[in-house]
Amino acid sequence: MKTLTRLATATALSLGLAAPAMAQVEVEWWDFLSGGDGVRMKALIEEFNAEHPDIQISGTTLEWGLPFYTKVRTSVAVGQGPDIMTYHLSRLPLALEEGVLSPISAADLETAGLSTEDFFPAAVTAASTDDGQLMAVPFDIHAIVAYYNRTALEGTDWLDADGNLTGLDSVEDMTALLTWAKEEGFSDPLSFQTEGGGGTWRVFYTLLRQQDGEMLTDGEVLAGDNLDKAARAIQIMADWRAEGLIPEQAAYEASVALFSGAKSVLHINGVWEVPTFKDSAADGSLGFDWFANEVPQLLDQPATWADSHAFAVPANPDMSDETRAAVMTVIGWMEEHSLAWADAGHIPAYVPTVDSEAYAELQPNATYASLAKNAAFDPRSKIAGVASPVYDAVDNLIAPAVHGFLSPEDAAAQMKDQLQSLLD
C-alpha cells in the first residue's frame, strides 16, 4: 500500500501536478549503510516513522564510498540534495573544501535536544572546522575488529579460558596461526577486502600506526622513517599474500562470504558486520561459533583504524525552517536510540548511551570496547578520508604491491610523491 501511494505521488509530481498540501514533513535521508548495520538503520527509521506521524523519513541507501560522495557533491551543486545524510568524519576536511555541508548551529542542537557535552570531545572536534564551528553531529565511532571462528580455534593455544584470542603478539605469531589454519584446510586463513578500497586501507593504516607511523606530519606525507614503516606495513600483507594466507583480490562481499563460509578462520573488518554474523548465527545458517576481539597488537604499540559516522545537513539555501527543525528532531531521536546502533556493532558517540547499563552488557561490543583508547583516525587532511586521494593510492599502489605487481618500497615511495603533489 505504501509503495502504491508513493507511486501515485511520484506520478503526480512527475506530471507536474501539485501535490496535495500535507501536514506531514517529509525528510529525505541518504545513507551508505549497506553492511549488516544497514538492517538496523532501516529498523530505526521505521520505528521513528511509526512514532512520528508528523515527520516521515524517506530513506535511500546508496553505494558506499566514491559513488555516494559523488552523488552528494553533484546533487548539492544543483540544489537537489537530501535533507539529511550520513557522513564520514574522516572526510570532513574534503567536505569543507567542497562546501557541501551546512553548519550546525547551537539553535539546531537545541531543537534536537542535544548539546556538545553529550558527545565524546574527540568526536566533536572531528566534526568541527578548525575554528570550532560544528559541521555535523557525531553518531558513532567504528573501528575494525578481528572476527574469528571460535569453533575452529577451540582447544588451541590461541584461545584463552574465556574464548578470546590470545598469544598473538607479533607478526610471526599471526603468521604461525594462519599457517596452521591453512594446513587445517582453511583456504584463505585471514580474510579482508584485499582488492583495495576501504578494507585494504584499514589494515594498512592499522599496521602503520602500530609502528607509530604517521601518514602526515606538518604537511609532509610519510616524512622521514614513516616511509619505511609504510613499506613494512605493505610488506607484511604482501608476505601473507605470497604464502596464500590472505585471499587474492577479495572484493568486500567475498571477504565476508569467505569467513561465513568457513574458508577463513579470521576476518578483519569493520564492526558494522557484527549484525550480519549475529543474525546468521541466530537463524542457524552460520554453522560455527563466532566472536570478535580488538585487532591484536602485532607491532610496537596497540592501534586500530577507526572512523566516525555522523549526521550532516547538505548545504541548501532553500531549506525551509520547518524541514530543518524536522531534521534536527530526527537527529536527536537517533542519538537517543543509539543503543540499537550499538547493537549494530558501533560505539555510539552519544555519551548517555555508552554510560547505560544495557550498553555495558552488549556483546561483543563490551569485549572490544578497549579499542576505543587505541583508535587511530585518518589524518585530518583533504587528501585523506573515505573516497579521498588516499583511497586512489590504495587501489593503484598498495593493493597491487600486496599482490606482487610492484615492490612495497616503490609503492610507498610513489604514494608519498602522488599525495605530496596534491598538498603542494
Partner 1 sequence: MTLKQARNLAFTGLVLIAAAIWTFPLYWALTTSLRSENRNVSDAGWLLDELNFGAFREILGNSKLPMWYLNSVGTSGIITLIVLVTGMMCAYALSQLRFPGRRLLYLVVVGSFMVPVPALYVAQFVLMNDLGLVNTWWGIILPQLVVPVVIIVYKQFFDAIPKEMREAVVLDGGGEFTLLFKLYLPLNWGITAALAIITFITAWNNFFWPFLVVTSEDMMTIPVGITQVNDAFGVAYARVMALALLAAAPVIIGYLIFQKRVTEAVMISAGVKG
Partner 2 sequence: MLTPKRRRRERRAAFLMIAPFLFIFTAFFLYPTYSVIALSFTDAPLIGEGNWVGLANYTKLLGDRLFHTSLWNNFYFVLLTVIPTTVIAMLIALAVSKLKGRMQALVLTLFFLPYVLPVSVVTMIWSWMLDFQFGILQPVIAAITGKPVPVFKNPYWVMPMIAVVTVWWTNGFNVLLLIAGLRNIPADLYEAASLDGATPWQRFWRVTWPLLWPVTALVLTLQLILQLKLFDQVYLLSNGGPFNRSYVVLMQMYREAFQLNHGGYASAIAMVLFLFIVVLSVLQFQLLRLGGRK
Residues that bind partner 1 (CB under 8 A): 3, 6-7, 10-11, 14, 28, 32-39, 41-42, 58, 60-64, 67, 71, 74-75, 78, 80-81, 253, 256-257, 260-261, 273, 276, 279-280, 285
- From the list partner 1, partner 2, none, pick the one residue 248 interacts with, judged by a Cβ distance below 5 to 8 Å according to partner type: partner 2
Q: What nine digits make up the cell of 389?
A: 586521494
Candidates 200, 195, 173, 420; CA nearest to 305 is 200
Q: What nine digits make up the cell of 396?
A: 593503484
- From the list partner 1, partner 2, none, pick the one residue 173 interacts with, judged by a Cβ distance below 5 to 8 Å according to partner type: none
Could you tell me how many residues of this chain bind partner 2 (CB under 8 A)? 24
Query: Nearest approach, Cβ of 7 to partner 1 (angstroms)?
Result: 6
Candidates 152, 175, 157, 316; CA nearest to 238 is 175
Peptide bond into 364 cis (omega under 30): yes
The answer to whether 328 and 112 are in contact (CB under 8 A) is yes
DSSP letters spanning 187-203: SSSEE--TTSHHHHHHH
Report how far apart, in Å, the C-alpha atoms of 371 and of each of 189, 278, 359 are. Answer: 23, 20, 16
Is 275 one of the binding residues for partner 2 (CB under 8 A)? no
The answer to whether 398 and 204 are in contact (CB under 8 A) is yes
Q: Return the residue of 351, 400, 410, 418 that touches partner 2, per CB under 8 A.
A: 400
Rank residues 104 and 398 by Cβ distance to partner 2 and give the closer one.
398
- From the list partner 2, partner 1, none, pick the one residue 379 interacts with, judged by a Cβ distance below 5 to 8 Å according to partner type: none
Is 254 one of the binding residues for partner 2 (CB under 8 A)? yes
Is 247 one of the binding residues for partner 2 (CB under 8 A)? yes
Q: Which of the ranges 20-28, 308-316, 366-374, 389-397 carries the binding residues for partner 2, by CB under 8 A?
A: 389-397
* Residue 269: its H or E element: strand 266-270
Query: Nearest approach, Cβ of 104 to partner 2 (angstroms)?
Result: 24
Is 196 one of the binding residues for partner 2 (CB under 8 A)? yes
* Angstrom distance (rounded) from CA 41 to CA 112: 19
Residues forming the site for partner 2 (CB under 8 A): 66, 70, 73-74, 77-78, 98, 195-196, 247-251, 254, 257-258, 263, 395-397, 399-400, 405
